[in-house]
Amino acid sequence: MKTSARNEFLGRIRELKNGPVNAEVILDIGGGSELAAIITQESMAELGLKVGEEAYALIKAPWVIVTTDSKLRTSARNQLCGKVTHCQAGAVNAEVVIEIPGGRSIAAIVTQESIESLGLKVGASACAHIKSSHVILAVAG
């Protein structure tokens, strides 16, 4: 599978919560981290999602919101915290890579102004916030 999503996490489905239109899928991505995804019931059926099976979570880097405060409350369902391992400056935007528990990383595209105002640099603590509606699920096969 090749995608344009900068972030790809293989995990195991831990929980499925059904609603009349949408379903919430909780994916254990290892290292004590999990991701929640909101998908339609139709997508859940089409993918054949079941508790205990593997699925991929895909997240485009511009969909990731970066903060430096792990206690910050947001409406984003997912929060992955760790240390910045890479900052690539650009004229307008910059890429930030955060290593999370389990040795995985998540990349975010933020403004250069955000890099400076948040003090993001290699070794700094940071959190990636992702809305559950911005997590795309995929399965092999």
Pull the structure tokens for residue 137: 């699920």
The domain ranges of the chain are 7-59+132-138, 61-130
pLDDT of residue 117: 94
Q: How far apart are CA 2 and CA 68, in angstroms?
A: 31
Class of domain 7-59+132-138: mainly beta
Q: How large is the average pLDDT for residues 49-70?
A: 96
Asked whether the domain spanning 61-130 has the same topology as the one spanning 7-59+132-138, the reply is: yes
Average pLDDT of the chain? 95
Residue 91 confidence (pLDDT):
86
Q: What is the pLDDT of residue 39?
A: 98
Look at phi and psi of residue 30 and say left if phi exceeds 0, alpha if psi is from -120 to 50, else beta.
left
SS3 of 7-50: EEEEEEEEEEEECCCEEEEEEEEECCEEEEEEEEHHHHHHHCCC
Query: 61-130 adopts what CATH topology?
Result: OB fold (Dihydrolipoamide Acetyltransferase, E2P) (2.40.50)
Distance CA 89, CA 55 (A): 33
Report pLDDT for 72.
86
